[in-house]
Amino acid sequence: MTHTPVQFPEGFLWGASTAAHQIEGNNTNSDWWVKEHSTGTNIQEPSLDACDSYHRWDEDMDLLASLGFTDYRFSVEWARIEPAEGHFSRAELAHYRRMVEGAVARGLRPMITLHHFTVPQWFEARGGWTAEGAVELFARYVSACAPVIASDVSHVCTINEPNMIAVMAGLAKRGEIGFPPAGLPFPDEDTTVAVVAAHHAAVKEVRAIDPSIKVGWTVANQVYQAEPGAEAVTAAYRQPREDVFIEASRGDDWIGVQSYTRTKIGADGPIPAPADVERTLTQWEYYPSAVGHALRHTAELVGPEVALIVTENGIATDDDARRSDYYAGALNEVAAGLEDGLNIQGYLAWSALDNYEWGSFKPTFGLIAVDLETFERTARDSAKWLGSLGRTRELPRLAD
């Protein structure tokens, strides 16, 4: 038994997301390219050509538009736009501008992310986010992106998952490179301060380019769930890893909610998921309800004035039917949030393509399969179903 479908609000964003380094290929001037070709890391394989989307972005957009999606979130690559300090590539700015125009021509509204984990090698070499002048350098880069975003772009994300940037900075100080498992280590506090300042500076630059652009950033929501009696422990654990970044978005136009699974917290901290739970290819607990918890918690912290957009949500699996099931469960949560009056203005799946998941191509998140030898794209059944909802402007509301 199903309930009457929930209608999308007018202008609801319905799409899929990608990140430049994970799909473009040969991002040779970035800090991650160096990490991928260094010894002593836990990076399993380098990105190399990735999905070759730098040259095949038009194919990707053709597919997304034909499937019924109305929005496409993609990032511009700082290491391409400013490959050497103070040198801004006119050719690369023109490349990303063509992508914006290509999206619009296909009926896709482009959401542009200005920073998705990677920085230029020169920026990393001078000390990264905590070096003197780093915030100003990022603001200068944002200003230089004006030719890309000054028209036809309604939504801009300044920085993707700043809490993960701070966590990775903390790991790097301990000699660890890459992404941690669920249950995040303590973020580097200086990096937290720096990326919050960089975000606020970037918001000012974007609004100076065009005050009509809706600007925000995205947060990795871990969906911390307190075991009985561990509420205070959970709140204290969550504050530096998530809440400080959500709170920094007060005053923004929107905030991106990005969730995949949950983390249970007991009196002594994170509790590993039981051995018998269903797990995804990333070894995360299969938990489609995560996005509903993340939306509600974020709304509590930012208030109704800041719009909520699900900018990433998905599952790494080699069973596409299970992928569709996950999305159905997640959308049930989105529908419930809309019914309860949450200011949810969009849903963008992760990911449009199978891609480079920060160390390995094995976790397949893509709605669209990619053959890494031929670069052939094949839309999965989950993509066809999810895209079709963009045409009907209706969210399925499953039985409770």
Give 40-50 pLDDT, tens digit per residue. Answer: 888 999 999 99
For 136, the enclosing helix (H) or strand (E) is helix 134-144
Of 359, 355, 358, 360, whose CA–CA distance to 368 is shortest?
A: 355
Range with lowest mean pLDDT among 10-14, 147-151, 366-370:
10-14
Beta-bridged to residue 13, according to DSSP, are 346
Confidence of residue 219 (pLDDT cuts 50, 70, 90): very high
Where along the chain do its domains lie?
6-389
- Triad 76, 78, 83: Cα angle to 5°: 130
Give 230-283 pLDDT, tens digit per residue. Answer: 999 999 999 999 999 999 999 999 999 999 999 999 999 999 999 999 999 999
Distance between CA atoms of residues 375 and 85, nearest Å: 33
Q: State the residue for tokens 């719009």.
A: 307
**The pLDDT of residue 387 is above 80:** yes
**The pLDDT of residue 1 is above 50:** no
Give 71-104 pLDDT, tens digit per residue. Answer: 999 999 999 999 999 999 999 999 999 999 999 9
- Triad 157, 163, 166: Cα angle to 5°: 115
For the chain, how many residues are written?
400
Amino acid at 219: V
- Triad 251, 253, 258: Cα angle to 5°: 105
Quick one: average pLDDT of 126-145?
A: 98
Quick one: 6-389 is in which CATH superfamily? Glycosidases (3.20.20.80)
In 3-state terms the chain splits into helix, strand, coil percentages (rounded to 5) of 40, 20, 40
* pTM, full prediction: 0.97
Confidence of residue 17 (pLDDT cuts 50, 70, 90): very high
